[in-house]
Structures are given as structure tokens and as C-alpha cells.
């Protein structure tokens, strides 16, 4: 019998700790959803090993002549899983316009910075170099421009004296997991949408991100007129 649970496709390129947080939350009854597939550009990545073989898809991007060719196969594989939501969880390739358009409004990414600061890569080292006193993670809708989509939610961590990039990465990662789960709970409950380049919650536009509390939930936004 086919499950009626909301269906999540996860794109990953590496370790997969955010994916594991999703799987654990589902197993613990803390996220009413199903991971219908894990899709990767790195056939030997650890993330793939976190789900049964039947739920894995991967191709070596180096085997494709163009980014668009890879993305086309990726998009077909993702579409075949009939996901309600697509989550980039440590997916380390820029998605082409064709993929983004095909899954517009239902593709989320977790990014290790307080967007719009530090889009792109090496965010922790850049935050240290910039002398930031706060850093963190953002969950945002994916649009063609890199890390420029509407930010849904953020978790903030302090930058401490003497922090290395790895120290900061670990502190941020520990908040990424509850941040992603709290956001996905809104998404799979049908409370989250993207419209006119903005994130909407319960039919109202979010004029600023939801912030993850120390209790790992969101403080409901004040309603703007
Ligand atoms: N069209 C979009 N694609 C992706 C987005 C996005 O917002 N729009 N988010 C990323 C995730 N990401 C940061 O959160 C990110 C991933 C990859 C890169 C990047 O520069 N990748 C290079 C290759 C880097 C490498 O192989 O080490 C590339 O694709 O050429 C930057 C940011 C997911 N995709
Ligand atoms: N630009 C994308 C990016 O840097 N994403 C980051 O990759 C890590 C993946 O960890 P995981 O594989 O253990 O979930 C996470 O910190 C995520 O924010």
C-alpha cells in the first residue's frame, strides 16, 4: 500500500548528517513524512549509505558533458520519486535553471551562514575573517541565483574568541539539524509556500526569517499589517 505521508527527496554530496537528522526524526515520530530518495552527484558519499539501496540515486557529474545534462538526469530521477518537497542537505552543486524551474516553490536548501551574508562556500572561514560576532545557518527556497532564495528560517550561534573554522562549523552544524527539522515540519504540514520571491507562512508573507529558539522551535512571527 502506498504511503500517504508527505514525500521528501534529499539531495546530498557528503556526510549526510542533516539527512540523518531527518531520518531519525521520522523514525522517532517527530516528522510526519517519508524520505522517498537520496540523490547525489557523488556515488561514494556517506549520505547514500544512510538509506536502503532502493532509495539511492547517484551519478558522477564528471561523466556528463554539461551541467544541464547532469541536471536533466537528476531531475528525471527526482521526479520519478514524486516528491512533495526537495531538500538540498549538503548538496554541493549549483542547480541549473531547468532543475530549479521544474521544482520551483518546493525546493529548500540549508546553508551554513546567516544569509544574505556569506553566500557560497567556505562560510565559516569567511565569517571569521570578517570578524563576525554571530554566525549560523539559514533554510531558504532555492532559486537560480546561488543562495539568494527567500529565507524561511535561521539559527544563530555566537562566534567565540579563538574559534577555528572547524569549531564554528561544529557549533553551526549542531543547530542546523533542529533548524531543518522545524522548517520541514512547517513544509510537510502545508504551512509553507514561496510566492513573489518571498516565503509565506499560513498565507502570510514572512518579512523576516523565523528564528530557532533554544527549545528548537519557532517564535511565531508578529503579523505585519
Ligand atoms: N541554483 C541553486 N543551486 C543550489 C543552491 C542555490 O541556492 N541555488 N544552493 C546550493 C547549496 N550551496 C550552498 O548552500 C552551494 C553548493 C555548491 C556551491 C558551489 O560553488 N559548487 C560548485 C562546485 C563546488 C565543489 O565541487 O566543491 C559548482 O557547482 O560549480 C555553492 C553553494 C545547492 N545548489
Ligand atoms: N553550500 C552548501 C553547504 O555548505 N552546506 C553545508 O554542508 C554541510 C553538510 O553536512 P551534512 O552532509 O553532514 O548534512 C552542512 O553544514 C550544510 O549547511
Q: Where are the beta strands (DSSP E) in 59-211?
A: 85-88, 107-111, 134-141, 151-158, 192-195, 198-201, 204-205, 210-211
CA pair distance 21, 185, nearest whole angstrom: 13
Distance (Å) from CA 179 to ligand 2 centroid: 13
Distance (Å) from CA 137 to ligand 2 centroid: 10
Domain boundaries along the sequence of the chain: 7-223
55 CB burial (10 A radius; 0-12, 13-18, 19+):
middle
Can you name the residues that pair with 157 across neighbouring β-strands?
A: 135
Total-model pTM: 0.96
Catalytic, 204? Answer no
Q: Tell me the percentage of the chain whose pLDDT exceeds 90.
A: 95
Judged by its nearest atom, the ligand closest to the C-alpha of residue 103 is 1
Tell me, which fold does domain 7-223 have in CATH?
A: Rossmann fold (3.40.50)
Distance (Å) from CA 118 to ligand 2 centroid: 14
**Once rounded to an integer, what is the mean pLDDT over residues 129-142?**
98
CA pair distance 210, 225, nearest whole angstrom: 17
**Which one is predicted more confidently, 8 or 223?**
8
Give the count of alpha carbons within 13 A of 148, CB side only: 8
Q: What was the ipTM of the complex prediction?
A: 0.96
First to last CA, the chain: 46
pLDDT, tens only, 75-116: 999 999 999 999 999 999 999 999 999 999 999 999 999 999
Binding residues for (6R)-10-formyltetrahydrofolate: 67, 92-95, 109
Residues flanking ligand 1, CB < 6 Å: 88, 91-95, 100, 109, 111, 120-121, 142, 144, 146-147, 149
Q: Which of 82, 111, 118, 204 is catalytic?
A: 111
pLDDT of residue 220: 73
Amino acid at each position: 500500500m502506498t504511503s500517504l505521508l508527505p514525500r521528501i527527496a534529499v539531495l546530498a554530496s557528503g556526510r549526510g548528517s542533516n539527512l540523518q537528522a531527518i531520518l531519525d526524526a521520522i523514525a522517532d515520530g517527530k516528522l510526519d513524512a517519508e524520505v522517498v530518495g537520496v540523490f547525489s552527484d557523488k556515488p561514494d558519499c556517506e549520505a547514500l549509505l544512510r538509506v536502503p539501496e532502493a532509495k539511492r540515486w547517484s551519478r558522477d557529474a564528471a561523466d556528463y558533458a554539461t551541467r544541464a545534462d547532469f541536471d536533466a538526469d537528476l531531475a528525471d530521477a527526482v521526479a520519478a520519486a514524486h516528491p512533495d518537497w526537495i531538500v538540498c542537505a549538503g548538496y554541493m552543486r549549483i542547480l541549473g535553471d531547468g532543475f530549479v524551474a521544474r521544482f520551483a516553490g518546493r525546493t529548500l536548501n540549508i546553508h551554513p551562514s546567516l544569509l544574505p551574508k556569506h553566500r557560497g562556500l567556505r562560510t565559516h572561514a569567511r565569517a571569521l575573517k570578517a570578524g563576525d560576532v554571530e554566525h549560523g545557518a539559514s533554510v531558504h527556497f532555492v532559486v537560480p541565483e546561488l543562495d539568494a532564495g527567500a529565507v524561511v528560517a535561521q539559527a544563530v550561534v555566537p562566534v567565540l574568541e579563538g574559534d577555528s573554522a572547524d569549531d564554528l562549523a561544529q557549533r553551526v552544524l549542531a543547530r542546523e539539524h533542529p533548524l531543518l527539522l522545524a522548517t520541514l515540519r512547517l513544509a510537510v504540514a502545508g504551512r509553507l509556500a514561496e510566492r513573489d520571491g518571498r516565503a509565506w507562512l499560513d498565507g502570510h508573507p514572512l518579512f523576516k526569517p523565523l528564528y530557532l529558539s533554544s527549545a528548537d522551535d519557532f517564535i511565531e512571527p508578529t503579523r505585519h499589517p
